[in-house]
């Protein structure tokens, strides 16, 4: 497909103690960005392990600086959203060919775009003006697809996901959060952020990632805010990306869910639905999980949850009323500082 215009793409790769993978991701992205008007920013999220110096040396050795590749130090590890926000703000401030980018492309440091993957996202967004965010078909190095397309979390979805009982799942089918891997390009509620392209106008309207999420639920929140503003999120099957998965977070080796996962989950429900809804969502999860554990006891099955997960969830929920109340939108930075924002009424 020939693009009717020459849109610009700002690509962001976030590094946290994975310099070799980050360089591989950046190298692959640069190959796929060839022929597109673009620039790439690598953000080091305060790794503190020598990553920054190693990446800087490789940028110079490979002459990437002459290609417009920039290394940015975030200054502190604020998580996935804050790190990507730092790169987006830097890219917006310096622009591409003197103008802000049309699209922002978020790529995980352990994700490697296959042939034409980035171009397919651009083509889809160019051809679908109502689409605000577009993500790729993600597969592992073994070729097996990863589950990256989802419905928005809800009270019935929390109950179903915790209960894991066939008849209940069939009754609540429209609320199941993970979607079967789509076989064709389709609209979804939200996508994992391993390979995600965002229209600049979306971020101008709704702001950047909410920086109160350290990890998890930040893409869910961004897609929900976009949906409420009238933008759709699409899964683009023709864009394929190889993803190792959970390298920076170490999720594959977790014995117990970290505190920040519970914090992010609670913040998602609180900020988007209110404290009462958040409490009911947790109650639904607890009830569903209790049914699941009863069934495991009867069938003599092993419980397939992280160690102490249910106790940790309940304890976190019981502490919630004593937390400092949230100011709506306090963690969502605008795309541009107020002095640079477009005057009211000016057209995009």
Nearest CA-CA partner of 74 in 56, 55, 52, 95? 52
Q: If you count DSSP H runs as helices and E runs as strands, how many of each does the chain have, helices first?
A: 11, 11
Q: Give the CA distances from residue 88 to residues 18, 39, 43, 72, in Å, rounded to whole numbers and listed in that order.
A: 20, 11, 10, 11
SS3 106: strand
User: What are the backbone angles phi and psi of residue 136, rounded to the nearest 5°?
Assistant: -95, 160
* pLDDT at residue 1 greater than cutoff 90: no
Q: Distance between CA atoms of 60 and 57, rounded to whole angstroms?
A: 5
pLDDT in tens, 251-286: 555 678 999 999 999 999 999 999 999 999 999 999
Q: Distance between CA atoms of 227 and 233, rounded to whole angstroms?
A: 8
CATH number for the 8-146+181-253 domain, one of 3.90.550.60, 3.40.50.720, 2.40.37.10, 3.40.50.2300? 3.90.550.60
Nearest CA-CA partner of 269 in 121, 158, 191, 124? 158
Q: Distance between CA atoms of 130 and 117, rounded to whole angstroms?
A: 21
Percent of the chain with pLDDT over 90: 87
Residue 198: burial class (beta carbons within 10 Å; 0-12, 13-18, 19+): buried
How many residues in the chain?
A: 348
318 pLDDT band, cuts 50/70/90, is very high
Dihedral sign of CA atoms 183, 189, 193, 195 in order = positive
Q: Provide the 10 A C-beta neighbour count for residue 300.
A: 6
Q: Distance between CA atoms of 238 and 41, rounded to whole angstroms?
A: 25
Q: Distance between CA atoms of 18 and 249, rounded to whole angstroms?
A: 10
Q: Which two tokens stand for residue 309?
A: 């997960």
Q: What is the pLDDT of residue 336?
A: 73
Q: Are 21 and 108 in contact (CB under 8 A)?
A: no
Q: Distance between CA atoms of 147 and 151, rounded to whole angstroms?
A: 12
Q: Distance between CA atoms of 295 and 165, rounded to whole angstroms?
A: 9
Which residues, in sequence order, are bridge partners of residue 139? 145, 242
Averaged over 13-39, what is the pLDDT? 97
Measure the CA dihedral 123/10/343/5, to 10°.
-30
341 pLDDT band, cuts 50/70/90, is very low
pLDDT in tens, 136-145: 999 999 999 9
In the 8-state DSSP scheme, what is residue 322? G
Q: Distance between CA atoms of 82 and 134, rounded to whole angstroms?
A: 20
pLDDT in tens, 138-171: 999 999 999 999 999 999 999 999 999 999 999 9
């Amino acid at each position: 497909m020939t693009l009717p215009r020459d849109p610009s793409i700002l690509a962001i790769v976030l590094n946290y103690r994975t310099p070799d993978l980050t360089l591989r991701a950046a190298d692959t992205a640069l190959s796929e960005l060839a022929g597109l008007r673009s620039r790439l920013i690598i953000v080091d999220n305060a790794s503190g392990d020598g990553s920054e110096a190693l990446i800087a040396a490789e940028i110079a050795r490979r002459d990437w600086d002459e290609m417009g590749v920039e290394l940015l130090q975030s200054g502190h590890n604020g998580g996935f959203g804050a790190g990507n926000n730092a790169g987006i703000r830097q890219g917006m401030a310096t622009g591409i060919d003197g103008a802000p980018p049309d699209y922002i492309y978020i790529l995980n440091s352990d994700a490697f775009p296959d042939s034409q993957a980035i171009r397919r996202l651009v083509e889809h967004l160019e051809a679908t003006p109502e689409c605000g965010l577009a993500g790729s078909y993600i597969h592992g190095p073994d070729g097996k697809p990863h589950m990256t397309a989802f419905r928005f979390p809800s009270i019935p979805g929390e109950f179903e996901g915790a209960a894991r009982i066939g008849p209940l799942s069939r009754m609540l089918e429209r609320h199941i959060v993970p979607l079967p891997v789509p076989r064709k390009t389709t609209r979804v509620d939200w996508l994992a952020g391993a390979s995600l392209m965002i229209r600049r106008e979306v971020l101008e309207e709704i702001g950047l990632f909410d920086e109160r999420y350290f990890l998890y639920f930040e893409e869910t929140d961004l897609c929900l805010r976009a949906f409420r503003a009238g933008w759709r999120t699409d899964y683009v099957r023709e864009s394929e990306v190889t993803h190792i998965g959970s390298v920076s977070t170490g999720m594959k080796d977790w014995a117990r869910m970290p505190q920040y996962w519970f914090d992010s989950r609670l913040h998602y429900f609180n900020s988007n639905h209110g404290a009462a809804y958040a409490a009911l969502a947790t109650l639904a999860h607890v009830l569903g999980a209790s049914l699941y554990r009863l069934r495991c006891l009867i069938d003599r099955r092993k419980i397939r949850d992280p160690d102490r997960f249910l106790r940790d969830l309940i304890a976190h929920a019981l502490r919630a009323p004593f937390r400092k109340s949230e100011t709506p939108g306090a963690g969502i930075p605008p795309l541009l500082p107020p002095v640079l924002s477009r005057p009211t009424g000016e057209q995009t």
